[in-house]
């Protein structure tokens, strides 16, 4: 079993990966974390009654390199319950568009069960850290590809996010462990 330990501006949380639930997604997430992709990234979308989302790289050239490098959908095997996590995707009618962005369910989100949000594991430590992330920007800081607002975040990276949304919480470092 693999675990990802996220050190953030609010404390530490740990994700437990369940490869049987989504092998393609878990493999990508594991390798992105192992290579340091999520280090120094921002929680660009936090809705306290819905999700906390991250995964846009702080360097705009890295975002450009990952643009369009989609991952095929794994069949959903679990529900979007509080404390579970998954890759986001580009929206209805756009299957197989998972990329680098993840979200943790901050509430039970049955509405996501009908979409191809394949749960990859659970938060096993630090759910209170995720609950405490700054949500004052609501959906404005990065409301998703569906809303067409992520382009400036992708192109501007951390410099743009820090200037326009200085209160966004951040991931400083992710470490991988296996047991």
What's the whole-number mean pLDDT along residues 55-63?
95
Categorize the per-residue pLDDT at 8 as very low, low, confident or very high, splitting at 50, 70 and 90: very high
Contacts of 3 (CB under 8 A, 6+ apart): 14, 15, 16, 17, 124, 176, 177, 178, 179
| Listed range (38-52, 73-87, 100-114, 136-150) with the worst mean pLDDT | 136-150
> Would the pLDDT of 91 be above 90?
no
Please state the domain count of the chain.
1
* Nearest C-alpha neighbor of 52 from the set 3, 86, 4: 86
> Would the pLDDT of 145 be above 50?
no
C-alpha 154: how far from its chain's center? 14
pTM: 0.94
**Residue % of the chain over a pLDDT of 70:** 95
> Would the pLDDT of 120 be above 80?
yes
Of 13 and 91, more confident: 13
> Would the pLDDT of 179 be above 50?
yes
pLDDT, position 146: 45
3-state SS class at 164: helix
CATH number at residue 85: 2.40.100.10
pLDDT, position 38: 98
- In order of 41, 45, 86, the CA distances from 54 in angstroms are 7, 7, 11
Q: Show the domain range for 101.
A: 2-178
Task: Give 19-51 pLDDT, tens digit per residue.
Answer: 999 999 999 999 999 999 999 999 999 999 999
């Amino acid at each position: 079993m693999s675990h990802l330990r996220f050190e953030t501006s609010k404390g530490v949380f740990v994700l437990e990966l369940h490869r049987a639930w989504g092998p393609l997604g878990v493999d990508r997430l594991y390798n992105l974390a192992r290579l340091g992709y999520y280090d120094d990234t921002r929680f660009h979308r936090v809705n306290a009654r819905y999700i906390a989302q991250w995964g846009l790289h702080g360097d705009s050239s890295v975002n450009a390199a990952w643009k369009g490098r989609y991952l095929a959908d794994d069949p959903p095997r679990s529900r979007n319950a509080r404390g579970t996590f998954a890759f986001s995707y580009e929206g209805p009618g756009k299957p197989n568009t998972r990329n680098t962005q993840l979200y943790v369910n901050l509430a039970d989100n049955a509405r996501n069960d009908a979409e191809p949000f394949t749960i990859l594991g659970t938060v096993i430590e630090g759910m209170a850290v995720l609950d405490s992330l700054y949500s004052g920007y609501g959906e404005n800081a990065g409301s998703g590809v569906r809303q067409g607002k992520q382009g400036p975040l992708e192109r501007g990276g951390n410099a743009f996010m820090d200037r326009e949304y200085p209160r966004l919480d951040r991931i400083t470092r992710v470490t991988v462990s296996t047991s």
